[in-house]
Structures are given as structure tokens and as C-alpha cells.
């Protein structure tokens, strides 16, 4: 973070201000100066700073009062106080009030630089810890798109072309087709690959908390806001922010998101501070957003902002050539995870997998292979190991009936079977089908089930 930080220096001594500006700007940081406490507070409230250098002894509004105001607005703010030898006791008091450290006058450029570097490293580690706790940062191998079908080759070519750019990407496709996997691939091949990849699940976040989740909030900004919170935009700084199922966000959030994309700035809920948003945005949807635009449920201007580069993922039934490759990949994965040694999928079982229509797409296939690995009592997955999952033991009859019946009938019957298997528990059935609860409920409504 040091070398790219936004630093505010508040000191009434022009020589100190100039010295700090030279020390920090020489290292590539942006430096804003204020000649007294009131001006400093005004600038602090207008934008976000990674580090604040604050003189304790100033005419008018004193440094201790400024510190208390800053920490009251943002308890996570990193403040280093500057003090003369005669006010060391005040410096100790300032640290009790939340200052990170103090620098006694006179100080050398190197001593100031060292303390600032240490402070900024602490802030960076704090953000990384939040990311780890939220489980939004994952290791990703180099091969992330699996498949040899022509449609997936086209997707891979698009990914490789768009990844090095910072263009906004809109990935469309049915639930379970691997939209997040493609988003992670774009991030992995981009110049931001060593920075965070942060997911926003637009289908699961509660509407009245959505703004807080995206932009963060300050302590006391609303009932229950007991502490200042980092939003997803801040957590994804310099990295990639992935909006999963973007079609689920309300018109109110759409307006605010459009503004962020246009201005690349955010403001925490309850704060007037402007924070720069250096993120690449990738969005995904299982809805027809162009249709939603015509129906007035999705903003046209936001749609065009998001779909600078559109990538459409085909359903698994349209790329059956990829099923054996995907199945073998999942077999290896769940052998490792479940500590099993299943060596292969039998020819008959693979035929059943290839001929099944997979309404839940790749996610449903993955769940099927995991079940096969867990349930099989031999070293080879047979059709009987897939029967529990809903696939027919008799491959030939399953093949014939599937080809003569409509996808509508196959999907409806499979959903009914899965619901019965899990005693009508929506959550478990959705997980087995490889879709989220909301998608399953929409399908139940569509097919008149329950």
C-alpha cells in the first residue's frame, strides 16, 4: 500500500507540511496538506485517507480535538501524531485515544517514512484479514475453464482477450453454467490477479442492507451499526468485484451502482467522505437483461455500462462433448476432498451422464459426481451409484425417453423427484440440483409444483 497511499498532513508549521509532502510524494504517494485543525477536518470529511499525519500543538482547534473527531467518524483511521519533546505526555494520551504512533520533533525523513510504512502495512493486513474471514479470497490454478466444445473454446478465447484490459464484463447463462468460474478466470489472467477477488451475491443480500454491504457504513449511521464497516468496494480495492446475479438488484441500488461505475467513487452510509474505487467490475446474470430493460425492471444505462464485453455461457446440454472431461475433473477433485480412491467412471455410467439433460448444468453434474464418489462401494462409479441422484440405471431406456420428451417435462420430473428425495426441503433440494433457493422457487412456480 505504501507508495500508492492517500495521505493527509495537518500541521500549522509550513516547513513541516512541505517536508512531509516531499518525503511522501517522492515515494509515489498522494499528499494533501491542511494548515490548521479545522481545514484538516473539512478535508478528512470530504474524502478518504489511508494515513493522517497530525500535529498536536496547533492554534485554534487543537490536535487532540481533531484526533477525537477523526476517530469518532472512522475508528479504523490510521493517525500518526507529531509532537515536541515537551508534549510527550500528550502524545501518550493521544495513543490511548486511538493514535497509531507518534513522531517527536525534530524527526528525520527516514524515521517518518518507516513509521508511515509500518502503519500502512497494518491497515493492509487488517483488510486482508477481513477478506479471509469473509471467505472471498481463494487460490486459483491456471486452468480454470474446462471443455473442448466449440462454444467453450470461444468463451476461453474471449476470456484471454478481455482479461488484460480493465473492461467491464457481463457474463450471462443459466444457473450452474459456471459464471463465477469464468469471472475468476478473467481475474486470474488480469493484471489484478494478485489483488482481491470479492464476490457480491445479489440474490442473497437483504435489500435494506445492500448499500451498507457495497459501500460500508460508519458507526451509528443506522440502528445496529455498532462499528464502522468496510464495504465490498473497499475490500476489492485494486482488485475485481464480481456481482453474481446482478439482475436481482433493485432500481434504487441500480442508480447508486451506475453512479459508482461512472465516477469511480463511493461514500459510506452515514458519511460524507468520498473514497476512490479502483476496482474492475464483472457481473453475471441468469436473466435476460435486455428483456428486463424493455419491461422497465432494469436500467438501460446500467445495462450498457455493464455489458461492454458480453460473454454468453451455453447450458451443459448444448455442449455434451464437455461432460466426460468435466466428470473426470470432478472425480479427481472429490477423490482428494473425500479421501477416496475411485479410479474411474464406467462406460455405462458415463453414457448416462452424457445423455442426461442437466437442468442444473455444471453445478448439478459436480454434485452428481461428488455423490457417486461418496456412495460407490467399488473403485469404479457405476449407473447404480448415480441412481440415487436421479439418473436412470437403465442407460438405454433413459436415453430413449429423454430424447422423445421435452426438456420442460424432464426438468419438471427431475425437480419433483429431488424434492421427494429430500422430503420437500427447498434448501437441500436446491443444493442437490445445483441452483440457489430463489432459482428453485421460480422453477416451482413455473412448473406449478407444490
- Helix, strand or coil, per DSSP, at residue 230: strand
In 3-state terms, what secondary structure has residue 147? Answer: coil
Boundaries of domain holding 100:
6-133
CATH number of the domain bearing residue 128: 3.40.50.2300
Domain end, chosen from 299, 314, 329, is at 314
Q: Does 272 share its domain with 294?
A: yes
**Residue 403, pLDDT above cutoff 60:** no
**Strand, coil or helix: 265:** strand
Same domain, 293 and 325: no
- 294 shares a domain with 332: no
Q: Is position 144 within any domain?
A: no
| Residue 342 and residue 250 in one domain | no
**126 and 235 housed in the same domain:** no
pLDDT above 90 for 173:
yes
Is the same domain home to 216 and 359? no
Query: For residue 95, which of 64, 73, 72 has the smallest C-alpha distance?
Result: 64
What is the pLDDT at residue 137?
Answer: 42
Number of domains the chain is built from: 3
Query: Which one, of 9, 36, 35, lies nearest residue 20 by Cα?
Result: 9
The torsion angles phi and psi of 107, rounded to 5 degrees, stand at -125, 155
Where residue 314 falls among pLDDT bands split at 50, 70, 90?
Answer: very high
pLDDT tens per residue across span 234-276: 889 899 999 999 999 999 899 999 999 999 998 888 887 788 8
C-alpha cell at 382: 457405476
Return the residue matching grid coordinates 469518532. Answer: 72
Which of the listed ranges 74-83, 87-96, 176-185 does the model predict with the highest average pLDDT? Answer: 176-185
Residue 351 lies in a domain: yes
What number of other Cβ atoms are within 10 A of residue 438's Cβ? 15
Q: Among 102-111, 176-185, 343-352, 431-440, which is the least confidently predicted range? A: 431-440
Other Cβ atoms within 10 Å of 195 Cβ, number: 18
Segments of 313-353 assigned E as strands: 344-345
Question: What does each C-alpha distance from 156 to 163, 181, 193, 317 come to in angstroms?
Answer: 10, 11, 17, 19
Q: How many helices (H) and strands (E) does the chain have?
A: 20, 16
The answer as to whether 172 is a domain residue is: yes
Q: Answer yes or no: do 83 and 100 share one domain.
A: yes
Which of 290, 314, 338 is the last residue before a domain boundary? Answer: 314
CATH code, 235: 3.40.50.300
The four Cα atoms 366, 369, 373, 379 give a dihedral, to 10 degrees, of -140
400 shares its domain with 435 = yes
**Same structural domain for residues 191 and 236?**
yes
Q: What is the pTM of this model?
A: 0.65
Instruction: Provide the pLDDT for residue 139.
Output: 45
Amino acid at each position: 500500500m505504501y507508495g500508492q497511499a492517500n495521505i493527509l498532513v495537518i500541521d500549522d508549521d509550513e516547513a513541516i507540511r512541505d517536508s512531509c509532502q516531499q518525503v511522501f510524494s517522492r515515494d509515489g504517494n498522494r499528499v494533501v496538506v491542511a494548515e490548521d485543525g479545522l481545514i484538516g477536518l473539512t478535508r478528512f470529511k470530504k474524502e478518504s485517507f489511508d494515513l493522517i499525519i497530525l500535529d498536536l500543538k496547533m492554534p485554534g482547534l487543537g490536535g487532540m480535538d481533531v484526533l477525537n473527531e477523526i476517530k469518532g467518524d472512522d475508528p479504523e483511521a490510521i493517525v500518526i501524531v507529531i509532537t515536541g519533546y515537551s508534549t510527550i505526555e500528550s502524545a501518550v494520551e493521544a495513543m490511548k485515544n486511538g493514535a497509531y504512533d507518534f513522531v517527536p520533533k525534530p524527526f528525520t525523513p527516514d524515521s517518518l517514512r518507516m513509521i508511515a510504512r509500518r502503519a500502512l502495512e497494518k491497515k493492509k493486513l487488517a483488510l486482508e484479514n477481513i477478506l479471509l474471514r469473509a471467505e472471498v479470497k481463494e487460490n486459483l490454478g491456471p486452468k480454470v475453464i474446462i471443455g473442448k466444445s466449440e462454444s467453450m473454446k470461444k468463451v476461453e478465447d474471449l476470456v484471454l482477450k478481455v482479461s488484460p484490459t480493465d473492461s467491464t464484463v457481463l457474463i450471462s447463462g443459466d444457473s450452474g453454467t459456471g459464471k463465477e468460474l469464468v469471472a475468476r478466470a478473467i481475474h486470474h489472467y488480469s493484471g489484478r490477479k494478485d489483488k482481491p477477488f470479492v464476490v457480491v451475491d445479489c440474490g442473497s443480500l437483504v435489500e435494506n442492507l445492500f448499500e451498507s454491504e457495497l459501500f460500508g457504513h460508519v458507526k451509528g449511521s443506522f440502528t445496529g451499526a455498532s462499528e464502522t464497516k468496510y464495504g465490498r468496494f473497499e475490500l476489492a480495492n485494486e482488485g475485481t468485484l464480481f456481482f453474481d446475479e446482478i439482475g436481482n438488484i433493485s432500481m434504487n441500488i441500480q442508480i447508486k451502482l451506475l453512479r459508482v461505475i461512472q465516477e469511480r467513487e463511493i461514500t459510506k452510509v452515514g458519511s460524507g467522505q468520498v473514497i476512490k474505487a479502483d476496482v474492475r467490475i464483472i457481473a453475471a446474470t441468469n436473466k435476460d437483461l435486455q428483456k428486463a430493460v424493455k419491461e422497465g425492471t432494469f436500467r438501460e444505462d446500467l445495462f450498457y455500462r455493464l455489458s461492454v464485453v458480453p460473454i454468453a455461457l451455453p447450458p451443459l446440454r448444448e455442449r455434451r462433448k464437455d461432460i466426460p472431461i468435466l466428470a473426470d475433473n470432478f472425480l479427481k477433485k472429490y477423490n482428494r476432498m473425500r479421501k477416496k480412491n475411485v479410479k474411474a467412471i464406467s462406460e455405462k455410467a458415463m453414457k448416462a451422464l452424457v445423455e442426461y439433460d442437466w437442468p442444473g448444468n455444471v453445478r448439478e453434474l459436480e454434485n452428481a459426481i461428488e455423490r457417486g464418489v461418496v456412495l460407490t462401494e467399488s473403485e469404479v462409479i457405476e449407473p447404480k451409484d448415480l441412481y440415487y441422484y436421479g439418473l436412470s440405471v437403465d442407460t438405454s431406456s433413459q436415453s430413449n425417453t429423454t430424447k422423445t420428451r421435452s426438456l420442460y417435462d424432464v426438468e419438471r420430473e427431475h425437480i419433483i423427484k429431488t424434492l421427494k428425495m429430500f422430503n420437500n426441503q427447498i434448501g437441500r433440494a436446491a443444493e442437490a440440483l445445483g441452483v440457489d433457493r430463489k432459482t428453485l422457487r421460480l422453477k416451482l412456480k413455473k412448473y406449478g409444483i407444490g
